[in-house]
Structure 1
Amino acid sequence: MAQQALPVREARLGKPRGTGGEGVRAALRWKGGGGRGAGPVNGVALLLPEGGPTGVRRPSPIASLAVRPLAVRLAKAGRPEGLATHVLRYRCHGWNGPSAHPARDAAWALDEVVRRYGDVPVCLVGTGMGARAALHAAGHPAVHSVLAIAPWFPDPSQEAAAPDPVKQLIGRQVLLVHGTNDERTDPDLSYRYAERAKKVNRDTCRFEVHSDGHSLHQHRAEVHALATDFLLGSLFTRDYARPVKDALAAPPPLGLRMPLASGFGASLRH
């Protein structure tokens, strides 16, 4: 299949958050302008929003707005370590088959992060289609960890293509989390992906949010606490919470069907 051509436009990084509390200050740092109160950037969380299977139109801003609360939460929690967060603005809405436009945009964004901040560790945090893009882009040298929230994978019976690759995950910390009642992205497909990933990379785990749907609205506080714990533990020197340690250490299927307990991370919430 020929790759789908896009209108002439570029992917963009949303304004940085963290490293002193103001996005403008962090932006001044990488531009060489200083910025009162701006601290050094020692790590980056790159958030990859939702999208769709197809579509070359520019994405709706709603997708970026949906991940903003998590970006703010991560920036606040990681401020002592010097964490900056960015939300990637894709060139287009869709994955578009073998073109894999969001994964290409993620690769561009990782190069841009290195250009701005230098050799700092990056955690890719993706939701839905963005989670698939994060997993695809994990082979970039800057990536230390990947958090895939409700990842979308195409139904193999409907897409005659090779399974999504997993070898690029070797050497990375990888966590997937999925609601068991998700009707938009199949949790069984994310489990099968995690199974294959665990075979090549032992530092892979997966959490299940029982009775929750795609948006994980019922347990959003727990999911955000899990994301915070995983990101800070994978990029910096903080210890993982015990459930995350257990999930990473447990063999399949236990470590890939770890239930996310109600109230997880209550002491971490702000």
Structure 2
Amino acid sequence: MLDNFLIRAALAGIGVAIAAAPLGCFVVWRRMAYFGDATAHAAILGVALSLAFSTSTIFGVLIVCLGMAVIVSNLNERGMAVDTLLGVISHSALAFGLVAVSFLSGIRVDLMAYLFGDILAISMADLIFIWIGAVIVCGIIAWRWSALLTATLNADLASSHHINPKREQLILTVALAITVAVAIKVVGALLIASLLIIPAAAARGFAKTPEMMAGLAMIIGSVSVLSGIQASLIWDTPTGPTIVCCAAVIFGVLNTLSRGMRG
């Protein structure tokens, strides 16, 4: 059954959606959308470095994403504005990555696949890696759910319960880096943040509890992936961007329904 490339693509997309959904909820709650975008952009620099040193692409992406998070955290503690800092690092990392790739002689690099994803070319090895990453991310979130939620709601409250907000931020950053690494072949570096944010934002209007929001985000993300793959086959459009378009349409519909119910 897994010899069918469409089945592999669907399973890979669902794996990424499941990993991204609960993490995306924290990104929305903490207003870290720009941080997620910056981490995804930095992934291109990780790809370039891994190709230059002939190491695993996933390893390179993880190292660069985690390194960027540490740099942002340290500079933020020195009083620099976070939004400005993320803007500088995000676009600089993407630019340096693209320039670095151009210097790689003798290595064929499909930049479009890394920028916008190539879900239909997912191999069995990629599928296994994506699901291992998804299980790790979901395991981390489940393990630290209560502490992460408390630290997100109120840092002082977390400290009074002997929860270190900085440690929880680091855990969230590690989970985000893993998600970026597993998602880059599905939707690409430029669209990863949208798969994190849009399903979580769409679920927010209907969720009565944080757990319900995470569960709804998983469902919305999975539906976006399946409908995006189907639509791209029907209309012969790029699959990664089509998945994001479907997520955006679902968000628009659910947001309208949510406002109607409140009104």
- TM-score interval w.r.t. the shorter chain? under 0.3
TM-score (norm: length of structure 2): 0.26
Which has the larger share of strand?
Answer: 1
TM-score (norm: length of structure 1): 0.26
Which has the larger share of helix?
Answer: 2
- Highest RCO, 1 vs 2 (Cα 8 Å, sep ≥ 6): 2
